[in-house]
Amino acid sequence: MAHRGATIAPVRKQPAGFRRRKLSAVVRKAITSYYTDQEQMEIAKAAKQQNISMSSFVASAALKEARLLIR
């Protein structure tokens, strides 16, 4: 039964962002990187938008870039 005045809007597909990596697939090896305060703020903001940790965001971005270069 439909409610008067209710509308259904199509949901726009969001571009595939970074996927959360499964912990079982993560090898716990540390890689250190350094950022300016501005770069760190940008990374933190982007990671928050993706709802993932900064570490996961950086790792996913690095892997994506590496895989593009290797091909």
Helix locations, the chain, DSSP H: 37-50, 54-70
Sign of the torsion formed by the C-alpha atoms of 31, 46, 60 and 65: negative
> What is the model's pLDDT at position 15?
55
Convert the pLDDT of each residue in 57-67 to its tens digit: 999 999 999 99
> What is the model's pLDDT at position 29?
80
What does the alpha-carbon distance between residue 44 and residue 63 come to, in Å, rounded to a whole number? 18
Convert the pLDDT of each residue in 30-58 to its tens digit: 889 999 999 999 999 999 999 999 999 99
List Cα–Cα distances, 71 to 18, 20, 35, 58, 63, in angstroms. Answer: 19, 23, 28, 20, 12
> What is the model's pLDDT at position 44?
97
> What is the model's pLDDT at position 20?
59
Domain chopping of the chain, boundaries = 30-70
pTM over 0.85: no
What does the alpha-carbon distance between residue 71 and residue 69 come to, in Å, rounded to a whole number? 6
